Amino acid sequence: MKQILSFVAAVSIIGGTALAQTTVESCNRTVSFDAPPKRAISNDVNLTEMMLVLGLADHMVGYTGISGWKTLDEEMRANVKQLPELSSKYPTKEVIVGANADFFFAGWNYGMKVGGEVTPETLKPFGVKVYELTESCTHIMKKGKASIDDMYADLINLGSIFNVEDRAKNLVNNYKAELKSFKDDLETGEPVRAFVYDSGEDTPFTAGLYAMPTALIEAAGGVNVMNGFEKSWGTVTWEEVVAQNPEVIVIVNYGSVTAEQKRSFMMSNPAFANIEAVKNDRFVTLEYVEATPGPRNIKAIKTLAKAFWRK
């Protein structure tokens, strides 16, 4: 089930002043706002970039969950230099409440864990409203496979929450037009079989049906060979990868093991010698911020398409 913007202009009179209430769908909840949040926190690099691309830095008190796993590129460093990182990994409830936050933009396994310390329910008593990343809703409810529309819905909903609807709509329309123009000029054939290699040597951690790379690969004219893996991100076996015989390996670059080290591991392992992607040395790298829902998904689709359909 795609998450669709739900905007309700419910007007109430308080002391003679009309207040317009905005309500959005967040996974299996509805969240209402009488005014744009003023002390927001975002978790992870891709969610933080969604806030920044909408020009919401002035509404933020900080961000969390980046430096513990990833590094910021030059563009991101420039955009967040005025904001502190409140926690290098997942924030505790004390971190969020201690910052006097009124809004937390996070997701399931993007700053929150099912049954964990930080959830919409545990933050509610402290006046902190939570908007959940659409892609991550699969962890708590039935949802269709990942779609680029998930990312668009998040931008539109954030635009509504922070009263920058026109900015969000223009941004999404521009992304759609850019992607359509690119795909109209793209010459494709039979879908390219791709495997997403995130991490792990004994067993690979990969993107399944409900993770954003599936949508990116399909938009680029390919198919995720792990479409039958009905999870978001998770661990499979190398035997499954060999059996699927991908034509291209999509490496997600982050952490202490570099993309080149991941490629070298696969290229040098005799167990993978008969995989088409290995035989033909067909690897393509996406940065973490490109492979997860966010503004750089359009660039990611272009990168994948160029690798899939290289002359």
Classify residue 22: in a domain, yes or no: no
- Final residue before a domain boundary, out of 177, 199, 216: 177
Same domain for 207 and 242, yes or no, is yes
* Burial class of 116 by CB neighbour count within 10 A (0 to 12, 13 to 18, 19+): middle
Would you say residue 201 has pLDDT above 80? yes
pLDDT at 20: 72
Same domain for 111 and 206, yes or no, is no
Give the C-alpha separation, 27 to 150, whole Å.
Answer: 11
- Predicted confidence band of residue 5 (pLDDT cuts 50, 70, 90): very low
Classify residue 30: in a domain, yes or no: no
Same domain for 234 and 276, yes or no, is yes
Which range (70-74, 107-111, 219-223) has the least confidence? 70-74
Classify residue 17: in a domain, yes or no: no
Give the C-alpha separation, 276 to 272, whole Å.
Answer: 9
- Final residue before a domain boundary, out of 156, 177, 198: 177
Give the domain range for residue 96: 35-177
More confident residue, 18 or 288: 288
Classify residue 23: in a domain, yes or no: no
- Predicted confidence band of residue 223 (pLDDT cuts 50, 70, 90): very high
Cα dihedral 174, 176, 177, 178 in deg (nearest 10): 80
Same domain for 153 and 199, yes or no, is no
- Predicted confidence band of residue 42 (pLDDT cuts 50, 70, 90): very high
Would you say residue 15 has pLDDT above 50? no
Same domain for 173 and 207, yes or no, is no
Same domain for 139 and 260, yes or no, is no
- Predicted confidence band of residue 10 (pLDDT cuts 50, 70, 90): very low
Paired tokens of 180: 């359509």
* Burial class of 243 by CB neighbour count within 10 A (0 to 12, 13 to 18, 19+): exposed
In 3-state terms, what secondary structure has residue 25? strand
- Predicted confidence band of residue 203 (pLDDT cuts 50, 70, 90): very high
Would you say residue 241 has pLDDT above 60? yes
Q: What is the pLDDT of residues 142-168, one digit of tens each?
A: 999 999 999 999 999 999 999 999 999
Whole-model pTM: value is 0.90
Across all residues in the chain, what is the average pLDDT?
92
Classify residue 74: in a domain, yes or no: yes
Instruction: Report how many domains make up the chain.
Output: 2
Percent of the chain with pLDDT over 90: 85
Q: What is the pLDDT of residues 248-285, one digit of tens each?
A: 999 999 988 999 999 999 999 999 999 999 999 999 99
More confident residue, 246 or 189: 246
- Predicted confidence band of residue 68 (pLDDT cuts 50, 70, 90): confident
Classify residue 49: in a domain, yes or no: yes
Classify residue 14: in a domain, yes or no: no
Same domain for 137 and 200, yes or no, is no
More confident residue, 5 or 238: 238
Would you say residue 56 has pLDDT above 50? yes
Same domain for 172 and 195, yes or no, is no
Classify residue 257: in a domain, yes or no: yes
Average pLDDT on 194-210 reads 97
Same domain for 105 and 42, yes or no, is yes
Same domain for 197 and 260, yes or no, is yes
Q: Which residues contact 49 (CB under 8 A, 6 or more apart)?
A: 76, 79, 289, 294, 295, 296
Which CATH number fits the domain that encloses residue 235? 3.40.50.1980
Same domain for 119 and 203, yes or no, is no
- Final residue before a domain boundary, out of 145, 177, 209: 177
Same domain for 171 and 39, yes or no, is yes
Average pLDDT on 98-114 reads 97
Q: What is the pLDDT of residues 166-179, one digit of tens each?
A: 999 999 999 999 99
Average pLDDT on 27-51 reads 96
pLDDT at 311: 54
Beta strands in 129-221 (DSSP E): 129-132, 192-197, 205-207
